[in-house]
Amino acid sequence: MVAADEKPHAVCLPFPAQGHITPMMKLAKVLHCRGFHVTFVNTEYNHRRLVRSRGAGAVAGLPGFRFATIPDGLPPSDADATQDPASLCYSTMTTCLPHFTRLLEELNRAPGLPPVTCVVADAAMGFAVDAAKEIGAPCALFWTASACGYMGYRHFRFFLDEGLSPLKDEEQLTNGFLDTPVARPPRGMSKHMRFRDFPSFIWTTDRGEILLNFLMHEVERADRAAAVIVNTFEELEQPALDAMRAILPAVYTIGPLGSLADQIVTDDAPASAIRPSLWREDHACLAWLDGREPHSVVFVNYGSITTMSRDKLAEFAWGLASCGYGFLWIVRPDLVRGDSAVLPREFLEATEGRGLLASWCEQEAVLRHQAVGAFLTHCGWNSTMESISAGVPMLCWPFFAEQQTNSRYSCAEWGIGVEVGGSVRREAVAATIREAMGGEQGKEMKRRAAEWMELSARSTRRGGRSLVNLDKLIAEVLLPSKKQV
């Protein structure tokens, strides 16, 4: 038995948004089960949200797993909503380094705690590399998006140099320009990429756009880290991973992380009770699904950041109402831009008994439920990997960032998705759902989804590449002694 103050100590720093906190928490729990003392660092704002969602006792920590906080640099707020992505990115990049460095130094001085031996930080929190260097610890960056998304961001510089971005005017967003095939596809990416299939921040008329410059800054500096961790598996994204390995230090694939965590963080593990949700989950969803026929329900969830207009919300609603299938729809309170997400009374009456609305849910458990036949999704990477792991075909409505790239690959490369279309018309939504649930294309998508599910499962079983890579990551990067815990 290793004494508590002699354990290796990993400090885990997610980017402060739900879609980044979730995979980092899974990785932190895996490291805890592998013998690490873990300090999980949230922003003060998100820690307050976590306490509201889970209760103070649930985030008090446990032996060998504790929470800490740093400020995010934004004005104080007690709101319970996702923060503005651009403001958050700029603030973390410009204000968080001294706070995080100070925290690492305090952890090293804290009595009863082992010294910090490694930092695992979100790749969008690249300042952590500098902070870790200050205390002499290695820093691994966790790229929580897809490998193809990473290479898409790395191509931003080419678009700028070639004069393809910034856009000449906003008409190019709607006049078909975005459908232009890319003449020189990036290394490691599909040869069938259109301009619209690249991360959306490149579609700007403003060279100074915050998110464009933030993402370029972060991806182009990832080579300063000791390693880059990716939540994917080799068979799914081999060309993109090869391209990443040509320009980065050691790249470790450990996905699908949900399946990997299931192998390691068993129900009796102390860390299993720690959950990362910033919203209170509605557990009635699973009970409702229990009463539905196999593969009869469309699951609809746009993730934690996506917002839309009230008109688009109504179009999705009436598409679901007329598709003829049951549905479970996650409608966050902040889903509608600048307004509350209120659905028409007529819609609720028309779908009574056939649909269930919830504000948040345990998504992985829902996707694994036999009643779910298709997933209408924004194509965030967590959702994509969870859908692949469950063998569920996707109806793709990407919103922003590399969701566009994930959608293109899901539909055109992996054969497990179909595009809903950005304009969102109720007739098209209903027709796409019917095809995915019962049409010939839907049957082929289900077949391909089952194949990818099996390949993803193999990667995290005993002897699988992702499980082996986890042990290599620990031995080669996170443990200075190069010995397994």
CA-closest candidate to residue 468, choices 253, 265, 230: 253
Q: Starting at the earlier edge strand, list the strands of the sheet with 417-419.
A: 355-358, 326-330, 297-301, 372-377, 394-396, 417-419
Is 47 considered catalytic here? no
Report CA 89 to chain centroid distance, whole Å. 16
Relative to beta strand 394-396, strand 372-377 is parallel
Q: Which residues, 6 or more positions from 269, have their beta carbon under 8 angstroms from its beta carbon?
A: 29, 32, 33
Q: Annotated catalytic residue: which of 32, 72, 99, 122?
A: 122
CA distance readout (Å), 378 to 62, 178, 307, 325, 396: 35, 19, 10, 20, 6
Rounded Cα distance between 428 and 420, Å, is 7
Helices (H), 274-398: 284-290, 310-323, 345-350, 363-368, 381-390
Choose, from 20, 47, 155, 369, the residue flagged as catalytic: 20
The DSSP annotation for 387-441 comes to HHHHT--EEE---STTHHHHHHIIIIISS-EEE--TT--HHHHHHHHHHHHHSHH
Q: Which long-range contacts link 168-175 to residues 24+ away (Cβ below 8 Å)?
A: 168/205, 169/205, 170/205, 172/203, 173/203
Neighbours of 50 (CB within 10 A): 22
The single-letter DSSP state of residue 178 is: G
267 in active site: no
Is residue 392 a contact partner of residue 375, using CB atoms and an 8 Å limit?
A: yes
Distance CA 301, CA 229 (A): 26
Residues forming the active site = 20, 122
